[in-house]
Structure 1
Amino acid sequence: MKISLFLLLLTLSASPFTSGAQKSAQQNALFPYPQQVSWGKETFTFNNETQLIYTNNDAKKVAHYFSDFIQPATGYLPSLLTTEEARLQYKLANSANKIAFLLLEKSSEEAVEGSYHLTIDANKVTASASSEVGLFYAAQTLRQLFSSDIESRMPINKAQWLLPSVDIIDAPRFKHRGMHLDVSRHFFDVTFVKRYIDWLAFHKINYFQWHLTDDQGWRIEIKQFPKLTSVGGHRAQTVVGHTYDYQSVFDNKSHGGFYTQAQIKEVLAYAKELHVEVIPEVGVPGHSTAFLAAYPEYSCHKNLVKVEQRFGIFEEVLCPTEDTFTMLAKVYQEVATLFPSKYIHIGGDEVIKKQWLESDFVQQLMKEQGLTNGEEVQSYFIKRVSQIITGLDKTLIGWDEIIEGGIAKDAVIMSWRGIEGGIASSEAGHDVIMSPYQYTYLDAYQSRSVDEPKAIHGYLPLKMVYGYDPVPADLSPQHQQHILGAQGALWTEYIESPRHAEYMLLPRLSALAEVFWTQPTNKNWSRYSANVDHIITRYQKMGLNPSTSAFTASTKIDVVKSGELTVNLTADIAGKNIFYTIDGSEPAPYSKATYLYKNAITVTQPVLIRVAVESAQGRTLFSEVNVALAPHKALGKKISFAAPPKTGEERLLDGIMAYQQYYNVDDFAVFYDEDLDAIIDFEQATEFSQVQLGIDTGKHRQLQPPVSVEVLVSNDGINWQSLLRLTPTQIKGPLLTLDFEQVKMQFLRVIAINAKNSTDPQIPKLPLYIDEIAVY
């Protein structure tokens, strides 16, 4: 007789296992962490005699999956019992040394797909669930309960493998647990995409959003429009460095690739076996340069364009003509036929409306449809595409820009620009997938370390990912029901290789998985962070390239007074020794110049502090972060502006130079429309003979310099004397040093002219960044 999983869980709630039992750190290293875990004191011995049993054909799939997984490391080929044999075994008194995969009758009380129960004692392992996917997730948890050696694809010389006794009752918090991959900016082959899906399944992530089209390449074969891939699938070259660098450099190498429909079917079949639903993203109406390079007749201007070689947001946009919608109906028909998912993602983000508003056709369309602005034209376009998607019996997903001008009926909103779009959409009755870039975009930098590889921008350390909650605190329970779940993203503008992708994903993907799966009451940063070592080790045993950035120390700098700073060093991962040098040398074990950090450091002279953290094994230092400090005379003094910066005013006199770290906009005062014209009041006549101006970053970015810099002084703040002026040929970053004869003055004025005011057409109109005005 079958019993329901719901009744089984009730029965097991009075388990003899106790959460207070002693357990190793390895036992705690489960990710995402289950909802209920009770550790026992015994161990189960997995050896060459262990049998795998299952209840029916669906359970047999999971048993075979598990058997295939453990064979390379263990060398064992365990026997698998048929359904009838399994039933017979469970009627026998001796059922020891068995791992059972039991598919149970589903109870009407169960609501969450993926629930499972896993119990291990000295005699047996029992995984039970009311669905195949639940049983599959139980197998993933069981996999993590083995030592990380089990991940080896080569034989490990062990006669037996020990599993801790445990009782786990588990279910996912959200039904949508998603991860995205951009293959347009850099193309990744089928082999990598399958491995990516492997990683998602291992983390109990059930949706894979495949970003297949963008300005830099069209990656999906559409048989009715072959030029989408033959022309749109290739670009002549790619920008080297950051796309917004002051002076762009290109690699002069063609880049391209696309997936045939046969290859896509292969990936879809693979994902299905791992219980991952693949959502195609074919974006319109913006990010369409590759589309229009192939078929320029669907633009409003009809001009020839090239597949974009830079990254960013571009003006090319599909024109809202009937011909365009007819073509899109054919494109999405092929997409819908290929992909069994109920969803099609149509993008809809970052649409520049300039070409629409300059088009006579669009102006006439606006009159006919009663549209008053570009946002309403966008809404019209999205609603027409929504009709196409709905007609294909699919549900449209779009980035949160599609709510501007009016939301298409039944659209699901993916809120990426923050949480506001998700809140507004859920309150309007739309289902929402939360994907705010501040917490879920894994292409951002992971630490302030100088060792970080090039990334797009922003700062998203492991702890910040882990701390995210997809349900906004001020959303009513009624509207919370519209939060389907959350999703992470990996955009690949600056990620060119699988190893780099692994580095950006891991271990942050484990933190994100816990955001998706684990109830907030069961999340615990202390527990999770204490096991990051184990998590990273498991990834390494899987042959992957995880980042150790989580161990990087953070610095907090306080201005004490003019000419003095204090430095406090901390690490998100507790229990690690922090070492530093102040002479510019590399921190190294046993070096006389390397100090163990114990208390705050006082700095009274310009200095480069280099900080590193001890590895789990000790002796090895890694994840170095550098901070160039300038304890100068203007610290703590009043500063005023002819026109203040848009952001970062406090950065001009904080004593920290940005050029020793990767680019972060928060390190700079940013002047978008104005020049720097700042006056520092020393409150009394003060002697100084040097001004230093930080104008650039030291790694991965080349910021636009000013076209001239001038230093002036005054004793009354009215009459000014010019001391020194630098011309463009004298301005080279990242740090400008202006020396002059010593003066004694109360007021110092620094003027840096923004290049946007230059008459030189070769100078791009980019913001002016200044990170410090240091006075000595």
Structure 2
Amino acid sequence: MRIAASLLCLALAGLVHAAPVSLIPLPAQLQQAKGSFKVDSSTSIVVPANDPAAHASAQYLADLVARTRGLHLGVKEGTTGQAIVFQRNPKLARAECYTLDVSPTGIRIEARDDAGLFHGAVTLYQLLTPNARQGEEQVPALHISDWPRFAWRGVMLDSARHFQTADEVKLLLDQMAQHKLNVLHWHLTDDQGWRIEIKRHPELTSIGAWRTPPDAGLDGEPQRYGGFYTQEQIRDVVAYAAARHITVMPEIDMPGHAQAAVAAYPELGVTGKRPPVSADWGVNPYLYNVDDASFQFIDDVLDEVMALFPSHYIHVGGDEAIKDQWKASPAIQAKIRALHLKDEDALQGWFIGRVGSYLSAHGRRLIGWDEILDGGVPADATVMSWRGTDGAIKAARLGHDVVMSPAPDLYLDSLQSLLPDETAGRDPARSLEDVYRFNPVPSLLTATQAAHVLGAQANAWTEHMPSMRHVEHAAFPRLDALSEVVWSPAATHDWKGFLARLPAQFQRYAAQQVDYADSAFAPVIQIDADVALKSDKALVTLSNQAGYGAIHYTTDGSSPDSHAPLYSKPFALAWPATIRASVYADDGSMLAGMRTRVIDREHLLSRAGVELANCAGSDFRLRVQPMPDATSMAPVYAINVFDACQQYPAAPLDGIASIHVEVARLERNYALAHDARLVVSRPHATPHGELVAHLDRCDGPIVATALLPDPAIGARHFGLDAVFSPQQGKHTLCLLFTAPTDGPLYAFDRVSLVPSGSDNSKR
């Protein structure tokens, strides 16, 4: 049946893309008809009598359309007048399936189950909001028959590293519902905070929910960071999600990522000592003990968690549990011998197996990250693959159900672009197109093994997303792409068609004040600095990541609208000059806001720190904020926590007398575990280290040196100037900090080459 439906959808693909509708995700089947139906304030939504679920879906539609379109539709029982009709159809066999028919006489949504009716309401909402206009809408006649490709269509929200209010979680749930996503994986405990109230163990929240940030109280860092959800708040969020046909699945991390719990109750840990709640991102060493008291605590927690969350699955983490504390503990080693286990990995397998048995005894099912495979795993456990796709392949071959959630492909904390104004996140970037082209079913699986793939989810890890604004920027519109990957038949996936449907979606975001990212469409203004410096003109090239939309630009200082000159090919421009560019859709709506580039000697001879490149040897790269809990979107700085070295490629050094570097001093709040051995330490001639510039190679001749100030008394942002040894031609500059690796990190804000005769060259 699925193959037949896919073939039919492929046959209808031309009709789908030609239809004047902007639906995301694309329905399984869509066929355009003649005519239309006008929906205005006189139109009613009619639901069956004594059907509260149908009434709820109809009311959701009415409320959403009223809020975003200013169109007020009444909901009533029976059949009267020009109407939108919700109706049950037991002949629709698929779960979550619905049909939607628009004719000149009315609109009808039919479904067998409650979720299908709700999904039909969401699709009709999109049909009623094809643009930013208010009031009535002429809906084109069509027939839709729709159902999901995968049962698991998820988003993971990390509330442990940075905390969101319950109302902010509801904002994410609203958008998930409008994208037909149906699982919120709620990450509630980690080293940096315990976010769920457990009444039998109150210190989990009175102590474990709060951390002391680095340099607390200085430069905008709070004195105390944290928060938690009361059980009443959690019940409210779970009910709010259920009303939108979303399951909320909790994650309670074990045996690792346990530092916040051990901070609250030291006896849960291996050493018995009380650590602080961690202010460091990364992999911390604290694990749960494996004695009876620790398991009684875990059972207590799970009892209250299961009472709050009706989800079939309970996520137990299982990732990044480095075993150093277990290896060093005589009691743990005795336990391994008593259980006749091979090693610490096998002990983790036994640990997870015990928890899995407890969950099974209570009618629940264990799910964990793919490390749970390393030491053996219960036969009925489901595996969430994050270390690429290998874990999913291994698990499916062993007969386990799997959820695809690989890094970096579906990690929303990955940058969306390398634009200078992109906000904090991990490199490498994962673009909108990268997410859209993700295939949840690895090609190495047989058909039988592929049947174990339940679906996919994107993960919003929040180390570098301190606010909900950051989360929205990271999630949207990449969740639009994911929604189509997990809902729509693979045969209908079409990147260009998807792009054509996004302008309407952006206008829906604007109406709901969702702070989406325009990174895929943002204009990139490229200049060949070397050519410009040798003449009085610059060759300007405009483009964007998606290769979609009309780029309009100005050179007279004005803001470009859709009537400004349209870019078609590279052009020469006399400098100094300022170029401004924006990107518009065919309907005249803005796809990407204005970007500006100044062309003058100062800018041609400088690079922003985020435009520099890592030195050879390590590809780890982050964009981070000035302080770990800063909630502003900018500035951000590019760092490599393993090697404080960056390169300025093809630097034009003719006539350069000095170098001026704007530097940011950052917190070194990174727990690297065994990877700490990879951190490069360089000798320093002065107590606090130096900025050193090497020519061509990082072991090449030194051409400039500047001393770093005392971090105890110096500003967090400061300038350094150094006289430059005279050079000719273009060279790579290797710029590195020799600061002690037990102190702060330093990042480049901007690097400027200063010609002879300028003010800076005299410093």
TM-score, length of structure 1 as denominator length:
0.76
User: Is this contact kept in 1: 2:560–2:581, CA < 8 A?
Assistant: no
> Following superposition of structure 1 onto structure 2, how do residues 57-456 of structure 1 map, counting pairs within 5 Å?
57=51, 58-70=53-65, 73-81=70-78, 97-106=82-91, 110=93, 112-147=94-129, 158=135, 160-237=136-213, 251-371=221-341, 373-455=343-425
Change (3 A) 1:225 1:53: closer
In structure 2, distance between residues paired with 1:501 and 1:748: 36
| Aligned length in residues | 697
In structure 2, distance between residues paired with 1:224 and 1:388: 18
Deviation at 1:487, TM superposition (A): 0.7
In structure 1, distance between residues paired with 2:734 and 2:112: 71
Q: 1:763 aligns with which of 726, 743, 750?
A: 743
* Aligned partner of residue 543 in structure 2, secondary structure: strand
Structure 1 counterpart of 2:548, which letter?
A
* Aligned partner of residue 319 in structure 2, secondary structure: coil
**CA deviation profile, 1:399-453 (whole Å, cap 9, x unmatched):** 1222223334322111123222222221222111111232322233333344444
Aligned equivalent of 1:645: 617
Aligned equivalent of 1:613: 582
Check if 1:570 corresponds to 2:540: no
Structure 1 counterpart of 2:507, which letter?
T
In structure 2, distance between residues paired with 1:226 and 1:216: 17
CA RMSD after TM alignment: 4.9
In structure 1, distance between residues paired with 2:35 and 2:137: 13
Aligned equivalent of 1:244: none
Deviation at 1:341, TM superposition (A): 1.0
In structure 2, distance between residues paired with 1:437 and 1:238: 28
**CA deviation profile, 1:227-247 (whole Å, cap 9, x unmatched):** 111221223446789xxxxxx
In structure 2, distance between residues paired with 1:604 and 1:699: 39
In structure 1, distance between residues paired with 2:427 and 2:95: 36
Change (3 A) 1:647 1:586: farther
Deviation at 1:618, TM superposition (A): 7.5
* Aligned partner of residue 550 in structure 1, secondary structure: coil
User: Is this contact kept in 1: 2:526–2:541, CA < 8 A?
Assistant: yes
* Aligned partner of residue 438 in structure 1, secondary structure: coil
> Following superposition of structure 1 onto structure 2, how do residues 721-760 of structure 1 map, counting pairs within 5 Å?
725-728=705-708, 739-740=723-724, 742=726, 754-755=738-739, 758=740
In structure 2, distance between residues paired with 1:314 and 1:619: 44
In structure 2, distance between residues paired with 1:648 and 1:351: 21
Change (3 A) 1:678 1:344: closer
In structure 2, distance between residues paired with 1:417 and 1:567: 41
Q: 2:593 aligns with which of 622, 627, 650?
A: 622
**CA deviation profile, 1:537-580 (whole Å, cap 9, x unmatched):** 11111233333333213478999999999875422151321548
In structure 2, distance between residues paired with 1:742 and 1:695: 22
User: Is this contact kept in 2: 1:184–1:217, CA < 8 A?
Assistant: yes
In structure 1, distance between residues paired with 2:510 and 2:36: 25
In structure 1, distance between residues paired with 2:289 and 2:123: 50
Change (3 A) 1:631 1:193: closer
Deviation at 1:169, TM superposition (A): 1.3
**CA deviation profile, 1:447-501 (whole Å, cap 9, x unmatched):** 3344444446552332222222211233322221111000112223343444443
In structure 2, distance between residues paired with 1:268 and 1:465: 28
Deviation at 1:292, TM superposition (A): 1.1
In structure 2, distance between residues paired with 1:71 and 1:769: 48
Check if 1:534 corresponds to 2:504: yes
Deviation at 1:192, TM superposition (A): 2.5
User: Is this contact kept in 1: 2:663–2:747, CA < 8 A?
Assistant: no
Q: Which runs of 5+ in 1 are unaligned?
A: 1-5, 87-94, 242-247, 633-642, 650-659
User: Is this contact kept in 2: 1:238–1:250, CA < 8 A?
Assistant: no
User: Is this contact kept in 2: 1:179–1:209, CA < 8 A?
Assistant: yes
Structure 1 counterpart of 2:174, which letter?
D
**CA deviation profile, 1:629-660 (whole Å, cap 9, x unmatched):** 9999xxxxxxxxxx9523499xxxxxxxxxx9
Deviation at 1:173, TM superposition (A): 0.6
* Aligned partner of residue 439 in structure 1, secondary structure: coil
User: Is this contact kept in 2: 1:179–1:487, CA < 8 A?
Assistant: yes
**CA deviation profile, 1:286-332 (whole Å, cap 9, x unmatched):** 22222111101111111122222343322222122222112111211
Change (3 A) 1:415 1:619: closer
Structure 2 counterpart of 1:417, which letter?
R
User: Is this contact kept in 1: 2:522–2:583, CA < 8 A?
Assistant: no
In structure 1, distance between residues paired with 2:415 and 2:244: 30
The structure having more radius of gyration, on CA atoms, is 1
In structure 2, distance between residues paired with 1:193 and 1:749: 46
* Aligned partner of residue 417 in structure 1, secondary structure: coil
User: Is this contact kept in 1: 2:550–2:566, CA < 8 A?
Assistant: no
User: Is this contact kept in 2: 1:589–1:621, CA < 8 A?
Assistant: no
In structure 2, distance between residues paired with 1:190 and 1:619: 32
TM-score, length of structure 2 as denominator length:
0.77
User: Is this contact kept in 2: 1:553–1:611, CA < 8 A?
Assistant: no
Q: 1:39 aligns with which of 32, 37, 40?
A: 32
Structure 1 counterpart of 2:617, which letter?
P
Q: 1:54 aligns with which of 31, 35, 48?
A: 48
User: Is this contact kept in 1: 2:638–2:747, CA < 8 A?
Assistant: no
In structure 2, distance between residues paired with 1:676 and 1:136: 52
Structure 2 counterpart of 1:293, which letter?
A
* Aligned partner of residue 38 in structure 2, secondary structure: strand
User: Is this contact kept in 1: 2:177–2:246, CA < 8 A?
Assistant: yes
Change (3 A) 1:687 1:421: same
